[in-house]
Amino acid sequence: MPEDGQQTSPVLVTGASGFIGRAVVKLLQREGYSVLGLDRADSAESEGGQIAMDITDGDQLRTLFQGRAIAGIIHLAAVLPTAAQRDPVRATEVNVQGSLNLLEMARQFGVRRVVFGSSLSVYGTCAADRVVSEVDRAAPEDLYGAAKVYMEQLGAAYRERYGVEFVSLRIGRVVGRGAQSSTSAWRSEIFELLPVKSRTEIALPYVASERILVVHVEHVAEMLITLLRAPELRHSVYNACCESVVVGDLKQHVEGLNPNLQVTPGDSAAAGNPRLIDCSRFSEEFDFKMPSIFEQLQAAAGGDAL
């Protein structure tokens, strides 16, 4: 995919109003891409210029693809883990059937590449000292992770049978400003609350000794776009470059940046995800480097750009 700003056919971003989606759209536009953002009606209406559409509606999707050529797809739309457990029917409709609809459109309309936002939850809970790579067997423990594994397998089938270049990025816990999460507010609060002038608490669900894999949303966007525009891909699945952080160290660092902040660990283990990850496949193939989470927090506290 061209990098010279001359690309005219848009990149389709599903889940464009979401935490990662907004960062992806912003970065694509900054790099000169034409972008077509798509999200469900209640989200897209709040984001100017986006198309309100449910990916489970195959007829609407077909009309969209018939109306314009699509240069590539970054597929991020999904029912997230907590909501998926509450409504497994809807989760299956969106995470499986909706994703299948997109693959079918890619096949029928000749879209060269589909970049899929997968998750490290495909590995399930792993021993604290186990370093997980892409060759490790998937063992998801919830509907969300199981749907990610299924879509990776389905994407592989479409690649082999129809030539659709389907590639998956397995992403860890995404942090940064603007997550707007009701169940994991800390992911944004560790950045957004750094300037507070009065005593403020940030609650983390995990015990202080626990390790969690984190990655800043802007770096996730960079990795997804790297996969979109790479001339060739050596693999169909990549672990996102994430940092393994001890919760107690994160607490100490955030509180050190602003004494008004009190980070309170919880009593939960990091179930459903690995604690240590091998991301050398991505970092070496694409020469990808990023600052540590502590450097990013330091920069945010100082008002510097990440």
Residue 306 has pLDDT above 80, yes or no: no
Claim to verify: residue 182 and residue 260 sit in the same structural domain:
yes
Residue 26 has pLDDT above 50, yes or no: yes
Residue 184 has a pLDDT of 87
Give the range of the structural domain holding residue 190, as residue numbers without chain letter.
174-213+243-301
> Rounded CA gap, 13 and 33, in Å?
12
**Is 26 within the bounds of a domain?**
yes
> Rounded CA gap, 282 and 298, in Å?
26
Amino acid at 12: L
Residue 180 has a pLDDT of 80
Claim to verify: residue 110 and residue 189 sit in the same structural domain:
no
Question: Which DSSP letter does residue 120 get?
Answer: G
**Is 98 within the bounds of a domain?**
yes
Residue 40 has a pLDDT of 84
Confidence of residue 78 (pLDDT cuts 50, 70, 90): very high
> Rounded CA gap, 223 and 229, in Å?
10
Mean pLDDT of 215-239: 97
**Is 81 within the bounds of a domain?**
yes
CB contact at 8 A, 99 and 241: no
Q: What does the DSSP assignment read for 122-135? A: GG-S--TTPEE-TT
Claim to verify: residue 64 and residue 162 sit in the same structural domain:
yes
Instruction: Report the mean per-residue pLDDT for the chain.
Output: 92
SS3 category, 165? strand
Claim to verify: residue 142 and residue 112 sit in the same structural domain:
yes
For position 250, which CATH number holds? 3.90.25.10
Claim to verify: residue 51 and residue 144 sit in the same structural domain:
yes
Claim to verify: residue 47 and residue 96 sit in the same structural domain:
yes
Residue 45 has pLDDT above 90, yes or no: no
Residue 163 has pLDDT above 80, yes or no: yes
Claim to verify: residue 119 and residue 253 sit in the same structural domain:
no
- Among all residues, which ones are annotated catalytic? 144
Q: Is the pTM of this model over 0.75?
A: yes
Claim to verify: residue 141 and residue 247 sit in the same structural domain:
no
pLDDT tens per residue across span 250-284: 999 999 999 999 999 999 998 899 999 999 999 99
Split into its structural domains, the chain has a count of 2
Helices (H), ranges, the chain: 19-30, 41-44, 58-67, 81-86, 88-92, 99-108, 143-162, 186-192, 217-229, 247-257, 280-285, 293-301
**Is 59 within the bounds of a domain?**
yes
- The distance in angstroms from the start CA to the end CA of the chain is 26
Confidence of residue 8 (pLDDT cuts 50, 70, 90): confident
Residue 2 has a pLDDT of 46
Amino acid at 106: A
Claim to verify: residue 200 and residue 136 sit in the same structural domain:
no
Claim to verify: residue 110 and residue 138 sit in the same structural domain:
yes
SS3 category, 167? strand
Residue 297 has pLDDT above 80, yes or no: yes
Residue 49 has pLDDT above 90, yes or no: no
**Is 6 within the bounds of a domain?**
no
For position 150, which CATH number holds? 3.40.50.720
**Is 5 within the bounds of a domain?**
no
Mean pLDDT of 77-92: 94
**Is 89 within the bounds of a domain?**
yes
> Rounded CA gap, 221 and 213, in Å?
17
**Is 138 within the bounds of a domain?**
yes
Instruction: Report residue 66 as tokens.
Output: 């018939």
Claim to verify: residue 49 and residue 159 sit in the same structural domain:
yes
> Rounded CA gap, 237 and 117, in Å?
10
Half-sphere exposure of 244 (CA within 13 A, CB side): 17
Claim to verify: residue 100 and residue 71 sit in the same structural domain:
yes
SS3 category, 181? coil
